[in-house]
């Protein structure tokens, strides 16, 4: 049983790595977008970064190409524009793809990954780029925004207020634009957060693996082991964050149940004669809340994805009973507790269109969790194998 628990926690530890760096991880995979070629043509497909100066592009027709910053004027990933930027720094020419963060008289752009102390650039009214690198960035702001003399703006520009962070640069650039070009719009480029919500339901086969009795005590009664499978209906709801992306986050809540019994034969330790038979029975209901990462392996009209994450489980009921099938009058309840426990979810699924704008999901998955019976040192496992249909009720706008 301890071996099973170790495997469970090892699996959970690996899944937690999925959430350790979501921004970098998301760009490791392809995202929907379009490239803008030098002649000005727009080609739709999927894009991912190799580094700040190179991207890989797969067209909707399946053709794959790699482009560097000298070959593309720009591209769009998930409605966010990127442009090819060139600037002078220490008497050398630098280039990179940069993301538009703030559009206006003075623009603010960001690198995909920091280049040393450089993460942000200004785009001046004449469309040239200026790097905001480390401690020198404050001097750059003073140099290119010195024509605004408003006291409130100058106070914000004092060195005591300076910090190298996007909120500071956004505040300064917005204030400068309002000062020198109040008629011009200053638009912050937000990445839209889209969600999908719906109901889920399906069939589950659940097994109870009991491990309360420690083998080192060499007990006469040994109820440990796998109990009969229980077939039931599972149901609940789900919320998917950024469902249009290859990598998205899914939060679920579903109801589960187990009910089963096993007859334990008790033998004489000296003669090996069958003495009696006791029936161990267990019943448990619970609510599980898995938080999973979903990655689309195939992202066409029909989609295929993998899913894995961590589950928090709350027991709603927990009962155990021992009854003798022989004539020794044994009939009592086991000490059980209702508590929280932890588990994981892993599976494979597909998204299948019914209409051009609506589809349902089908998943095959396993969702085991630890069970506690009478105390924290008495550990078992509950294994659930599920076939689930996801029906969206709220879908993102196209």
Cβ burial of 144 (10 Å; 0-12, 13-18, 19+) is middle
**Contacts for 269-275: CB closer than 8 Å, 24+ residues apart:** 269/220, 275/326
Between CA 366 and CA 233 the distance in angstroms is 14
| Other CB atoms within 10 A of residue 145 CB | 20
Q: What are the b/e assignments for 324-341, b being 16+ CB within 10 Å?
A: eeeeeeeeeebebeeeeb
Q: What is the pLDDT of residue 260?
A: 95
Tell me the domain boundaries of the chain.
29-188, 193-394
Q: Are the C-beta atoms of 347 and 364 separated by less than 8 Å?
A: yes
Fold (CATH) for 193-394: Porin (2.40.160)
Q: What is the pLDDT of residue 1?
A: 44
Q: What is the pLDDT of residue 146?
A: 87
Residue 200: phi, psi to the nearest 5? -130, 150
Between CA 77 and CA 33 the distance in angstroms is 4
Q: What is the pLDDT of residue 14?
A: 44
How far is Cα of residue 157 from the mean position of the Cα atoms in its chain?
39
CA dihedral in degrees (315, 204, 259, 373; nearest 10)?
A: -40
Q: Is 310 helix (H, G, I), strand (E, B) or coil?
A: strand
Residue 64: phi, psi to the nearest 5? -115, 135
Q: What is the pLDDT of residue 276?
A: 92
- Give the N- to C-terminal CA distance of the chain in Å, as an integer: 49
H-assigned helices in the chain: 2-16, 22-28, 137-144, 151-156, 166-180
Between CA 327 and CA 71 the distance in angstroms is 87
Between CA 17 and CA 249 the distance in angstroms is 13
Q: What is the CA radius of gyration of the chain?
A: 30
Between CA 157 and CA 150 the distance in angstroms is 11
Q: What is the pLDDT of residue 20?
A: 41
Between CA 312 and CA 206 the distance in angstroms is 17
Q: What is the pLDDT of residue 211?
A: 79
Per-residue pLDDT of the chain (398 residues; tens, 9 = 90+): 444 444 444 444 544 444 444 444 444 567 888 998 877 788 888 898 999 999 999 888 878 899 999 999 999 988 889 999 999 988 899 999 999 999 889 999 999 999 999 999 999 999 999 999 998 898 999 999 989 989 888 888 887 778 898 889 999 999 999 999 888 766 666 666 789 999 999 999 999 998 766 655 567 788 888 999 999 999 999 999 988 888 899 999 999 999 999 999 998 888 888 989 999 999 999 999 999 999 988 877 889 999 999 999 999 999 989 999 988 889 999 888 888 889 999 999 999 988 877 889 999 999 999 887 555 555 688 999 999 999 999 988 65
Between CA 252 and CA 240 the distance in angstroms is 9
Parallel/antiparallel/unpaired status of strands 195-210 and 379-394: antiparallel
Q: Are the C-beta atoms of 131 and 124 separated by less than 8 Å?
A: no
């Amino acid at each position: 049983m301890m071996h099973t628990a170790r495997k469970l926690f090892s699996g959970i530890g690996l899944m937690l790595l999925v959430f350790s760096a979501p921004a970098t991880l998301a760009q490791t995979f392809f995202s929907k977008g379009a490239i803008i070629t030098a002649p000005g043509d727009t080609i739709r497909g999927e894009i991912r970064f190799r580094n700040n100066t190179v991207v890989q592009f797969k067209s909707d027709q399946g053709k794959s190409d790699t482009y560097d910053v000298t070959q593309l004027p720009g591209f769009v990933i998930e409605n966010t524009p990127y442009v090819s930027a060139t600037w002078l720094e220490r008497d050398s020419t630098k280039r990179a793809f940069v993301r538009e963060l703030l559009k206006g008289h003075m623009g603010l752009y960001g690198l995909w990954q920091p280049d040393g102390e450089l993460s942000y650039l200004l785009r001046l009214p004449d469309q040239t780029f200026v790097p905001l690198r480390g401690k020198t960035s404050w001097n750059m702001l003073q140099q290119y925004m010195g024509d605004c003399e408003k006291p409130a703006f100058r106070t914000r520009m004092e060195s005591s207020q300076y910090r190298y962070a996007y909120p500071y640069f956004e505040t300064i650039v917005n204030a400068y634009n309002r000062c020198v070009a109040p008629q011009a719009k200053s638009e912050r480029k937000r990445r839209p957060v889209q969600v999908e919500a719906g109901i889920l339901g399906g069939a589950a086969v659940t097994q109870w693996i009991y491990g309360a009795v420690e083998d080192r005590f060499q007990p006469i009664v040994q109820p440990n082991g796998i109990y009969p499978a229980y077939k039931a209906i599972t149901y609940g709801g789900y919320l998917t964050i950024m469902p249009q992306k290859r990598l998205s986050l899914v939060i679920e809540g579903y109801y589960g149940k187990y009910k089963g019994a096993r007859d334990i034969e008790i033998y004489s330790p000296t003669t090996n004669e069958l003495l009696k038979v006791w029936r161990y029975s267990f019943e448990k209901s619970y609510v599980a809340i898995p938080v999973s990462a979903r990655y689309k392996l195939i992202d066409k009209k029909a989609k295929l994805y993998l899913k894995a994450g961590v589950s928090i489980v709350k027991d709603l009921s927990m009962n155990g009973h021992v009854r003798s099938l022989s004539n020794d009058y044994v009939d009592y309840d086991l000490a059980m507790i209702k508590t929280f426990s932890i588990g994981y979810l892993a599976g494979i699924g597909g998204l299948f269109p019914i209409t051009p704008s609506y589809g349902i999901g089908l998943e095959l998955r396993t969702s085991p969790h630890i069970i506690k019976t009478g105390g924290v040192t008495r550990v078992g496992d509950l294994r659930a194998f599920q076939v689930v249909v996801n029906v969206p009720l709220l879908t993102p706008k196209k």
